[in-house]
């Protein structure tokens, strides 16, 4: 293998695949990156056996071939080079990678492609869902912070992908909070013949969000997606593949059944409130400065009052409260929440006003927009001792 490539192109490729590099000391080959010429394209790939990421980068191909080399060494060199162009060449039966610039040369002990794990292929490459990268990423970000790695309940360690031909629901929960975002068929194209459900691991979704987002890669000024790029999403019985023209992320799915969360979504409410979102968020930020170790704040409203009190106290530091105007109907309430969870939920909305639906201090509480019904956030109160 022999190629000439711009340093920034190689840097972009390594940045895209960095999160699939494993630190498994029992399988040191997983600490490597595979560089391969395939279909006259330069591909860099890493895998931790659960997740594999492949980035296609441009460069001048002089001689085809492949090599796998320690990721951290190559990445460290590339990030500290002052030259624009890099020559990469494999030697000694692909066990050494020679890296050259005008004033630098390195010989890196490497391995052959045969020693690198085989990257899995999706069984079903015919049926897919096509969606704009930014649209998908925006939807993911609305539910992502409600997922949490759980060894006891592995099905909660991912995002539910509920596809029903004319809609796609993305759902996440850690059993204390839950978020659901619905995309409709105007937002995507698909040739799936029937609906299905799959649980995509949290780490996979985090990587998809990172590398397919319009914010670009860490350390890069550019953007992976220009706002118009689309991805295809493929599924088989135990894998999912996210694919664009120059990026592929393939991952195992989580085996198991997602909780029947719809039964806990409140439909009727003892108390309904409408209030200004930014003002509510500012009140939480202010009052939380004197909250206790459990990050608890109390929301209170007396029947007939047009204000809600946001209150917190801690025995050592003191107490404070803030009054914000609300429109309310139904029962008065006094309810305690984890302010961090509540604030994270509010940040996912864009509307000026939000709707709060409450059913006492022991039942799930829902946050919705008055205008966008495609998204809601549910939060369990803290037991008021």
Task: Express as a percent the part of the chain with pLDDT over 70.
Answer: 96
Domain 129-261 CATH assignment equals 3.10.150.10? yes
Q: Which residues pair with 243 in a beta bridge?
A: 232, 248
Per-residue confidence (pLDDT) for residue 162, from 0 to 100: 97
Whats the size of the chain, residue-wise? 385
Each residue's pLDDT tens digit, 66-104: 999 999 999 999 999 999 999 999 999 999 999 999 999
265-379: CATH class: alpha beta
SS3 call for 182 = strand
What is the pLDDT of the chain when averaged over all its residues? 92
The encoded tokens of residue 172 equal 């996440």
Give the residue extent of every domain in the chain: 2-115, 129-261, 265-379
Structure-token match 């994270």, residue found: 344
- 2-115 and 129-261 agree in CATH topology: yes
Is residue 333 over pLDDT 70?
A: yes
Q: What is the pLDDT of residues 221-231, one digit of tens each?
A: 333 444 478 99
Q: Is the pLDDT of residue 353 over 50?
A: yes
Give how far Cα 76 sits from Cα of 33, 57, 258, 322, Å: 13, 19, 41, 50
Helix (H, G, I), strand (E, B) or coil at 385: coil
Amino acid 383: pLDDT:
81
- Between CA 192 and CA 128 the distance in angstroms is 6
Segment 150-167 shows an average pLDDT of 93
Q: How far apart are CA 17 and CA 266, in angstroms?
A: 41
pLDDT of 218 higher than 90: no
| Prediction pTM value | 0.90
**C-alpha–C-alpha distance, residues 100 and 216, integer Å:** 28
The CATH architecture annotation of domain 2-115 reads Roll (3.10)
Structure confidence by residue, pLDDT tens digits, 113-136: 999 999 999 998 899 999 999 999
Average pLDDT score over residue span 339-368:
95
Tokens of 310: 């946001």
Q: Which pLDDT band holds residue 315 (cuts at 50, 70, 90)? A: confident
Sheet containing strand 96-100, edge to edge, reads 60-63, 2-6, 85-91, 96-100, 105-109
Compute the C-alpha angle 293/153/378, nearest 5°. Answer: 55
316-332 pLDDT tens trace: 889 999 999 999 999 99
pLDDT, tens only, 361-385? 999 999 999 889 999 999 999 986 5
Phi, psi at 28, each rounded to 5° = -60, -20
- Distance (Å, rounded) from C-alpha 226 to C-alpha 213? 9
Q: What does the alpha-carbon distance between residue 113 and residue 116 come to, in Å, rounded to a whole number?
A: 5
User: What secondary structure does DSSP assign to 80-149, as a single string?
Assistant: H---SEEEEEEETTTTEEEEE-SS-EEEEE-B-GGGSPPPP--S--S--EEEEHHHHHHHHHHHGGG---
In tens, the pLDDT along 4-57 reads: 999 999 999 999 999 999 988 889 999 999 999 988 899 999 999 999 999 999
CB 94 within 8 A of CB 66: yes
The whole-number pLDDT of residue 122 equals 94
Rounded Cα gap, residues 330 and 224, in angstroms: 49
What average pLDDT does range 285-294 have in this prediction?
Answer: 90
**pLDDT value of position 226:** 44
How confident is the model at residue 385, as a pLDDT? Answer: 55
């Amino acid at each position: 293998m022999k190629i000439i490539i711009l340093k920034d192109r190689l840097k972009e490729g390594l940045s895209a695949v960095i999160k699939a590099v494993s630190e498994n000391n029992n399988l040191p080959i997983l600490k490597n990156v595979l560089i391969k010429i395939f279909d006259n394209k330069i591909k860099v790939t890493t895998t931790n056996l659960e997740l594999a990421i492949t980035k296609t980068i441009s460069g001048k191909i002089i001689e085809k071939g492949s090599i796998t080399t320690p990721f951290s060494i190559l990445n460290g060199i590339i990030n500290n080079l002052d030259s624009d162009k890099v020559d990469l060449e494999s030697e000694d039966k692909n066990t050494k990678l020679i890296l050259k610039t005008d004033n630098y040369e390195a010989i890196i002990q490497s391995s052959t492609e045969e020693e690198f794990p085989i990257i899995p292929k999706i069984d079903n490459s015919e049926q897919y869902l096509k969606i704009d990268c930014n649209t998908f990423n925006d939807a993911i970000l609305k539910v992502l912070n409600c997922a949490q790695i759980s060894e006891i309940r592995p099905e909660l360690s991912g995002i539910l992908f509920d596809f029903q031909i004319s809609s796609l629901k993305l759902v996440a929960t850690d059993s204390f909070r839950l978020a659901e975002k619905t995309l409709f068929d105007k937002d995507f194209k698909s040739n799936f013949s029937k609906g299905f459900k799959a649980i995509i691991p949290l780490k996979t979704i985090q990587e998809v969000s990172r590398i397919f987002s319009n914010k670009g890669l860490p350390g890069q000024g550019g953007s992976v997606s220009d706002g118009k790029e689309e991805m295809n999403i493929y599924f088989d019985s135990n894998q999912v593949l996210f694919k664009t023209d120059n990026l592929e992320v393939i991952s195992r799915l989580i085996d198991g059944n997602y909780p029947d969360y719809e039964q806990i979504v409140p439909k009727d409410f003892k108390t309904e409130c409408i209030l200004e979102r930014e003002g509510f968020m500012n009140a939480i930020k202010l009052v939380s400065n004197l909250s206790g170790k459990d990050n608890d704040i109390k929301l209170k409203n007396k029947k007939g009052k047009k204000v809600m009190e946001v209150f917190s106290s801690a025995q050592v530091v003191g107490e404070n409260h803030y009054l914000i105007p609300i429109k309310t109907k139904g029962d008065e309430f006094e309810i305690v929440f984890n302010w961090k969870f509540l604030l994270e939920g509010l940040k996912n909305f864009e509307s000026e006003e939000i709707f709060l639906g409450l059913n006492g201090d022991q039942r799930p509480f829902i946050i919705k927009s008055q205008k966008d019904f495609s998204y809601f956030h549910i939060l369990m109160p803290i037991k008021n001792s």
